[in-house]
Structure 1
Amino acid sequence: MHPLSPAYVLHSRPYRDTSALADLLTLNEGVQRVVWRGARGSRKGSGPQPFVPMMVGLAGRSELKTLASAETAGSYTLLQGDHLFSGLYLNELLLRLLRPADPQPLLFAAYQSALEALGSSAPVEPVLRRFEWQLLDVLGYGFSLTVDAWGQPLDPDARYGWQADQGLARVEAPPNAGFPGVSLLHMAADDWTDPATLRAAKLLMRQALSVHLGDRPLMSRQLFSSAKGVQS
C-alpha cells in the first residue's frame, strides 16, 4: 500500500498511448510530476481533472513517479467563466514558483480556500489578491503592508512605491506616483470594499510577482485576455 495524500491536479498533458503526465499539488510531498496510466481511457472522469480534491498514492523513487491510486475526496464545483480562468491562473503560479517535492501545507490550505471561494461564485479579484499575497509570504518574498521599509507606520494620506529589495517606501513626486497608503492598509486588513484598493493591490501584486516569474508570460493571463478580446 502506498500512503495517501490530499492532492489537486495543476496541469496535465497526453503521454504515450493512453497515459498522461500530470503535475500534482500534494499536501505531503509538494508538487509532483506523475505518470497517470489509463488517463485517456474510455471511462469518463477517470483522468486528471483540475480543481477536484483527491486522495492519491504515488509510487517510485525518481523525480517522475507513477500514480498508484487516485480517488475523489469530497464535493467540488465546476469552475466557469472568470472563475475558471482565475483557477488556471492560480495553478500556473504554483507550477512556476514552487520547487518540486517541497511540501507547503499552509499554501495547500490557502489554495483549497481559494478554490472554495471561486466555486461559491465569490468576486474573483479579492480571492486572487489574497492568494497572491499568501504565496509571496509563504515563499519568503512577503513584505509589510502596515509599515514602510524603515519600520514607520504607513500614513493613509501618503503614497508609497515598492522595491524588491526593501518593500514599501514613501514617495513625494509626481503627485500620483506609487500606491495610496489607505489602499495598502485596506489590503492588509483584507478589506476590499473600495475599488481603489483592488486596483492598487492588482498592480502591486503584479510588480511583486514579476520579479520571481521572470520574462516568460503567463499562459493563463493570455487565455483570459484572448477570451475577453483585450490585450494582456
Structure 2
Amino acid sequence: MDFTSPQPAFVLHSRPYKESSALVDLLTPQGRLRAVMRAARGKAGSLIRPFVSLEVELRGKSDLKTIARLEGAGPAHWLDGQALFGGLYLNELLIRLLPVEDAHPALFQHYVATLPALAAHRPLEPLLRAFEWRLLGELGYGFALETDIAGRPIEPQRLYRLLPDAGLEPVESFQPGLFSGAELLAMAEADWQVSGALAAAKRLMRQALAPHLGGRPLVSRELFMNLKEAPRG
C-alpha cells in the first residue's frame, strides 16, 4: 500500500514522544495509521489536534510511519459541549477497533460527513448510532435488522435478543436486554419518531460493540457521564 502520496487525514489522538516529537494516530482513507511527527512543538505541530482537516505525506515501511509533510486542508470543526464528547467517543472507537493499515474509504467519508453535523449541533444520538452501525458493518461485525438469524422477517410484536456477530434471535419469554420487533424495524429505517427506538438503538449498539472492546471501559464515555452527573452552580 502506497502511503507516500498526499492524502486527507484527521488526528484521532496524539501524545508526546521522545524529546520533541509526537506519536500520532491518524484516520485516512487507507485506514488508521500510526506516525511520528518530528519537531512537534513547531508550527506544523499546532495542527496535531482532533477534528482538523489535514493533508499528510508519510514515509516508512513499518507500522510506525514518519510524517514528512502535514498541512491544513480545510476548516477546523470546532466541537463543544456534548458534540465534543461525541467526537472524542468516535475517535476512541476508531482507535480501539480499527486495525492499523486496514483501508476503509467509505468509513472515512462517513467520518468526514459526521464532523460538520456535530459542529452544527445536530441531534447527537442519531449521529453516534449511525456511525457505530457503519463501523460494525465495515469491520465485518454487522447484522440484519429486518430479519432474524434464521432469515425470517422481524415481527413487530415479538421480542428478540442480540447474539453478537450472528444476529437477532426471537425469544418467547421476557428477559433483560431484549428488543421489540417494532424497535428493530424503526432502527432499520432510522425512524427515531417511534417511541423507544433511539434508546433501544443505544442499548443494541452497546451490546454489539462490547465483545470487541473487551473489558476496558471507554474513557470518553466515562468523561461524558461524569459531565452529565456533575452538579451545576
TM-score, scaled to structure 1: 0.92
In structure 1, give the amino acid aligned to 2:8. P
- Distance in 2 of aligned mates of 1:177 and 1:139: 24
Find out whether 1:72 has 2:72 as its counterpart: yes
Query: What do residues 192-228 of structure 1 show as CA deviations (whole Å, max 9, x unaligned)?
Result: 2235111100000000000111111111111112222
- Distance in 2 of aligned mates of 1:177 and 1:100: 33
Residue aligning to 2:35: 34
In structure 2, give the amino acid aligned to 1:155. E
Residue aligning to 1:204: 204
Residue aligning to 2:18: 16
The Cα shift of 1:45 comes to: 6.7
CA 1:140–1:215 in structure 2 vs 1: closer, same or farther (change >3 Å)?
same
Query: What do residues 150-202 of structure 1 show as CA deviations (whole Å, max 9, x unaligned)?
Result: 11111112221111253111122128761111111111112222351111000
TM-score, scaled to structure 2: 0.92
- Distance in 1 of aligned mates of 2:41 and 2:175: 57
Residue aligning to 2:166: 166
Report runs of 4+ in structure 1 exceeding 6 Å deviation. none
Number of aligned residue pairs: give it: 228
CA 1:82–1:21 in structure 2 vs 1: closer, same or farther (change >3 Å)?
same
Residue aligning to 2:191: 191
Q: Percent identity?
A: 52
CA 1:19–1:47 in structure 2 vs 1: closer, same or farther (change >3 Å)?
farther
Residue aligning to 2:147: 147
CA 1:195–1:37 in structure 2 vs 1: closer, same or farther (change >3 Å)?
farther
CA 1:165–1:95 in structure 2 vs 1: closer, same or farther (change >3 Å)?
closer
Q: Does the Cα contact within 8 Å between 2:11 and 2:24 map onto a contact in 1?
A: yes
Residue aligning to 2:53: 53
In structure 2, give the amino acid aligned to 1:35. V
- Structure 1: which 5+ residue stretches go unaligned? none
Query: What do residues 45-78 of structure 1 show as CA deviations (whole Å, max 9, x unaligned)?
Result: 7240101111100011222111111111122320
CA 1:35–1:63 in structure 2 vs 1: closer, same or farther (change >3 Å)?
same
Structure 1 stretch displaced more, 183-192 or 123-132: 183-192
In structure 2, give the amino acid aligned to 1:79. L
- Distance in 2 of aligned mates of 1:190 and 1:177: 20
Q: Does the Cα contact within 8 Å between 1:110 and 1:131 map onto a contact in 2?
A: yes
Structure 1 stretch displaced more, 132-141 or 170-179: 170-179
Q: Does the Cα contact within 8 Å between 1:171 and 1:177 map onto a contact in 2?
A: no
The Cα shift of 1:87 comes to: 0.5
In structure 2, give the amino acid aligned to 1:148. D
The Cα shift of 1:109 comes to: 1.1
- Distance in 2 of aligned mates of 1:95 and 1:165: 20
- Distance in 2 of aligned mates of 1:132 and 1:192: 16
Aligned-partner SS, 1:53: strand
- Distance in 2 of aligned mates of 1:17 and 1:47: 19
Residue aligning to 1:5: 7
In structure 1, give the amino acid aligned to 2:17. Y
